[in-house]
Each structure stands twice: as structure tokens, then as C-alpha cells.
Structure 1
Amino acid sequence: MTTTLKIDFVSDISCPWCAVGLGALEQALDTLKGEVSAELHFQPFELNPQMPPGGQDITEHLTEKYGSTPEQQAQIRETIRQRGAEVGFTFRPAGRGRIWNTFNAHRLLHWASLEDTAKQVALKKALLAAYQGRGESPESPEVLLAAVAEVGLNQARAREILASDEYAAEVRQQEQFYQRAGIHSVPAVIINDRHLISGGQPAAVFEQALRQIAAQAGA
């Protein structure tokens, strides 16, 4: 018998560890096929909500935020690249280049969740591939609309959303909900509204946790 778990994946496409965590979660679910299935929902979190238009150079940003040197950043980037390769995600070798505001991406992801949850998953992956994989700007309407078209969502409707402030209030409300719940870093993977797995964990960690939670739910 398959146990279906509700999984809220709180994340930002600006976060490379979110790509790693998502890949590992999907690997775990693949391993548990027949035992555990998931209703996967992506919830918004902005790492840099105050980022102005035009973004900021990544090296400068990370030095300001964490006090890290370019050498340390290169080392971390290589660790992330290796972890990505393990879960089938290819990061751009030179990194993202710049940090951008991601609010419009979150508005489109919210819309996608209302249209079709499978297409929300596909859009999340397309946006991660554009930003983390190719270094494209998620601030650019062209980049966002290309991702929408790639996953078969309505591009004209997405263009209308981007030209307005539609879903802005809903996204902010969701962001505040998770902040009030104590989420201050991502990815944060919340299972059945009760169990929290933090960070870009390896697939084995997700597999063990999902199996235990499914057993409890079944009992």
C-alpha cells in the first residue's frame, strides 16, 4: 500500500542548495516508489527581498553577507557543483554571476500551483535550470516567459501576471506565514504540516525520514 505524504518545499530559485535538496528529495521518492508518494507544493521564500533592480555581483554580495573570500566562495561552489551532479542537476561552472530579485518568479510559481501542481513542479525546475544552470536573470520577463512556455503553461496569461501585481499579496502572505513558523533558511521541507527537514540533505536522509513518517501515518 502506498502512503501519500503532503510535502511543502519552502525555497527560492536564488538558492543553489534548493536545487540540490529538490534533486535529492526526488531521488528518495523514486527509491520509495510503491511505498510512498508525494503531493509536492512549492512555497515562497526570498533570500534577498530587498535586492534592487539590476541585482548585485555575486562575489560582492556573498562577501558583504557572509564575509567570505572569493577563494572560499569558489570552494563552496565546487562542493555544490559536486552535490548537484550526484542528484542530476548541472550547475553553471562559473556560478550565477549575479544575485537577482526573485519575487516575480514566485508570483508565477503561485499561479502555476493554481493551474496544475505537476506544472508547478516543472516550472520550478525550469526556473532553477535557467538561473542556477545557465546563469540567466530571473528578473528578466523573457527568461520567466521562456520557462513558462517550456512547461506548457499559458504564456499570454503569464505575461498579464507579470505586467500587473497579481498574486503579489498571496505570495507575501505565504512568505510571512513560513517566517512566523520559524523558517529562516532554505530549503525547508515540511512533511504533513508537522515534520521539518532543513537544508540540501542527501537522498538517503530524505529516504529514511519519508519512510519513518509514512510508517507513522500508516499506523
Structure 2
Amino acid sequence: MTDPIRVDIVSDVVCPWCAIGYSQLKQASDQTGIAIEVHWHPFELNPDMGPEGENLRDHVKRKYGSSAADSAAARDRITAIGKEIGFDFAFAEDQRMWNTFRAHQLIDWAEGQGRAHDMKLALLTAYFAQGRNVDDLDVLVDVAEGIGLDADQARQALDSGSQADQVRGKQRFWTQQGITGVPAMVFLRQHLVTGAQGTENYARILQHLAAEAA
């Protein structure tokens, strides 16, 4: 198969399993030699989160009913998986969950410059590896500048809300397709795979689709 396999990924920048799932998919692509073409789509895990955010442990306890011990064990497991696939999770005791609507607007703005993929990965790193507030305007502008985009243009896009309606429309589209959790990956616009499936499973999926195409 000569053409890359298109993979549409619906995800949020504060979803650890989205970072893991993509990293596993990329690893599978590298191991099999089967190229992928990734397109990111917005999903908000916490659309009602206020600008002050919420302590991550408190958030997990409130939303999922997890005990402190369960939450700590989950973070340890996520961190260990990250090390296996080359993604750095640096959870901190004071880490907070943030609203991500602005972050999705920034990705949407970057898409117009062919840099949505780079922006998405930079935001995942900013939140999980650096513990940064991905709802903060200055942080977002700095992330944009960090991947070589114009800081003033990024700030103007976020200040004006120029991407807001478009992002809302994309969110509605995917929820109307039945997406209620992330990561959700759609291979070749027709095969839905949910959750982080592991490098071996993604490799099998890519090999199967490549064989079908051949």
C-alpha cells in the first residue's frame, strides 16, 4: 500500500489515554512500516469546567468516585505505560484539570496553517509532561510560538474567538456520530476503534487494512 492510512482521532488534550493511544499507533506505524495520516478532532471531557480548573485528584474522585489510592495507582500505571512508549507523564500533587475549549480553538487555528498535528502533540506535552495550564492564554500563545507559529496571530485568534463556532460544529458532528468517550479512532473513514488498544493491536489493524488495500 503506497498511500498512508488515514486515521481520524477524536480526543482531548487532557486525556492521558489519548496520548497513550496515539503513541501506540505511531509505534505500530513505525514498526510495520505502514504510513499513517492523522487528523485530530475536538472532544471536551469537561466542557463545564470553570476557568479556575480543579485539582486532578479531587476531579477524578468527584467524577469517577475513585479513592485516593485508586487514583494514585492509575497515575502510576499511566506513567509506566508512557515510559514504555516514549511519552513522558509527570503527574504532580497540585496538578489541575482545565477547560480545553481554548486549546481546541488553537489546534483548529493551527490546522489552517497545516500544523494541527504539531500543535496537538505540543499541547499534550505541555499538559502532561510540563504540567502547564492549557486554558491559559499566555501558555497557549507560548506553545504556538514554540512550534514556530506567529505568537501575535495565535493570540489574536484566541482573543477574537474566531475558531469557536467551527470547533463547536466539529464537536457536534462527532457526538452526533455516537462518540461519547476518547480516544476514538476512525481508520479510513469507516472502521471505529475506541480506547488505547496497544501497539500490537494497532499493528494488526494497520496490516489488515494495508492487505485489504493491496
Tell me which interval the TM-score lies in, with the shorter structure as reference length: over 0.9
Q: Which residue of 1 aligns with 2:178?
A: 182
| Structure 2 match to 1:56 | 54
Structure 2 residue identity aligned to 1:176: R
Partner of 2:4, secondary structure, is strand
Whether the 8 Å CA contact 1:10–1:45 is kept in 2: the answer is yes
Q: Equivalent of 2:74, from 73, 76, 90?
A: 76
Runs of 4+ in 1 over 4 A off after TM superposition: none
Match of 1:38 in 2: 36
Report the residue type matching 1:179 in the other structure: T
CA contact (8 A) 1:188 1:198 kept: yes
Partner AA of 2:176 in structure 1? R
Q: Could you say which residue in structure 2 is the equivalent of 1:29?
A: 29
- In structure 1, C-alpha distance between the alignment counterparts of 2:210 and 2:191, rounded to whole Å: 11
Aligned equivalents of 1:95, 1:31: Cα separation in 2: 36
1:32 and 1:207 in contact (8 A); partners too:
yes
Shift of 1:37: 1.7
Contact 1:29/1:37, CA 8 A, preserved across alignment: yes
TM-score, normalised to structure 2's length? 0.96
Aligned to 1:161: 157
Q: Distance in 1 between matches of 2:186 and 2:45?
A: 18
Gaps of 5+ in 1: none
Provide the C-alpha distance between the structure 2 equivalents of 1:207 and 1:56, rounded to a whole number of angstroms. Answer: 37
CA contact (8 A) 2:55 2:94 kept: no
What TM-score does the superposition give when structure 1 sets the normalisation length?
0.93
How far has the Cα of 1:93 moved from its partner? 3.7
